[in-house]
Amino acid sequence: MSEEGYEKFYIKEAFDTNWIAPLGPNVTEFENEIANKVGAKYAAALVSGTAAIHMALKAIGVGEGDIVLCPSLTFSATANPIIYQNATPVFIDSDYESWNMDPFLLKKALSKYKGRVKAVLVVHLYGLSAKMDEIMDICNKYNVPVIEDAAESLGAYYKDKHTGTIGKYGIYSFNGNKIITTSGGGMVVSNDEERISKIRFWSTQSRDKARHYQHSELGYNYRMSNVVAGIGRGQLKVLEQRVEKKKYIYEYYKKELSDLSDIEFMPINSWNKPNYWLTVIQLRGNIRPIEVLEALEEENIESRPVWKPMHLQPFFEKYDYIGTNVSQQLFENGLCLPSDTKMTDNDLFRVCRIIKTLWK
């Protein structure tokens, strides 16, 4: 939580006004504030980023028999909602330049499944923006809408635009590990007022406007609570501060560890202003990620592997995969370093000292 205690003000207001249940002033204002912050026209606050992806897919009309193109290198929450809609995922490999969906392979997939692709899900991995100009040009030529999974990239920019505002829909996550958190929660943003209104309708159990409880469509219990939204409103006030600290952490690691042989840092491109959600490295030599992970673990310091690609996951391995082994290489050679914004210079020094001992 913020050192200033912004969240407590909005939570207290929710309690003082007895707005504890889903919906309420904090939900409405959190939607407005997120939309204003990123430059979208409309937003719907939901219980998770996964729910936001689900509703965006439904809003596009994804259903049984449809194909949705999705990066392989991502967390399963990106791909799971495709299955919720009884659609079929096709996984696309990454490129080394962005670590995100390879536009060349995207075009190959759209050509292979021409006329069957209902949506393209793009992920901005670890706060690094995908090559959105190329991706949007390709998708527009095939007349396929784009959903941006910006769960990890709130506060990041592609050129002069916030990630999540370039495609038809953008989604954000406020899970406990994200750059700002509501403990759990998500948001879908769009410039399509009618579709955002429909998402809000579906997410409140699709209750028709009737005196009695009437439901003409399948509904979901996905709306954010007024208390959770209050936390989000407080957190949003420190977003820029969090991005600056995350950048500081990345630059500290890069300065201290770049001299070590065979360490590569995640790509920061001229068109990419990331939020540095996690500092991620690649180990290309004899020292492997598991050795670094275990050395830190012995000192009660947690690090994490890079996401295991979806096409290598037992549940998803039956689905088509278009690519070579870029995402697999990033997974096998990758490690996410401790990146919490509460870390001090002493904490960072300690992590670097432990890592350096492996190279002696």
Q: What does the pLDDT look like over 273-305, one tens digit per residue?
A: 999 999 999 999 999 999 999 999 999 999 999
DSSP annotation string for 171-221: EEE-BTTSSS--BS-EEEEES-HHHHHHHHHHHBTT--SSSS---SS---B
Q: What is the pLDDT of residue 148?
A: 98
pLDDT above 70 covers a percentage of the chain that reads: 100
SS3 278: coil
pLDDT value at 217 more than 90:
no
Using alpha carbons, select from 144, 136, 142, 92 the residue that is nearest to residue 118: 144
pTM: 0.95
What was the pLDDT predicted at 21?
Answer: 79
Amino acid at 134: E
Beta pairing class for 157-158 and 272-273 = antiparallel
Round to whole Å and give the CA distance between 279 and 339. 6
At 30, the amino acid letter reads: F
Q: At what angle do helices 103-112 and 132-141 cross, to 10 degrees?
A: 20
Parallel/antiparallel/unpaired status of strands 161-162 and 157-158: antiparallel
Residue with tokens 């069957």: 116
The mean pLDDT value of the chain amounts to 96
Q: What pLDDT is attached to residue 208?
A: 85
Domains observed in the chain: 6-236 (3.40.640.10), 239-357 (3.90.1150.10)
Asked whether the predicted pLDDT for residue 23 surpasses 90, the reply is no
Give mean pLDDT, residues 225-243.
Answer: 96
- What gap in Å lies between CA 320 and CA 196, rounded to an integer? 31
**pLDDT band with cut points at 50, 70 and 90 for residue 320:** very high
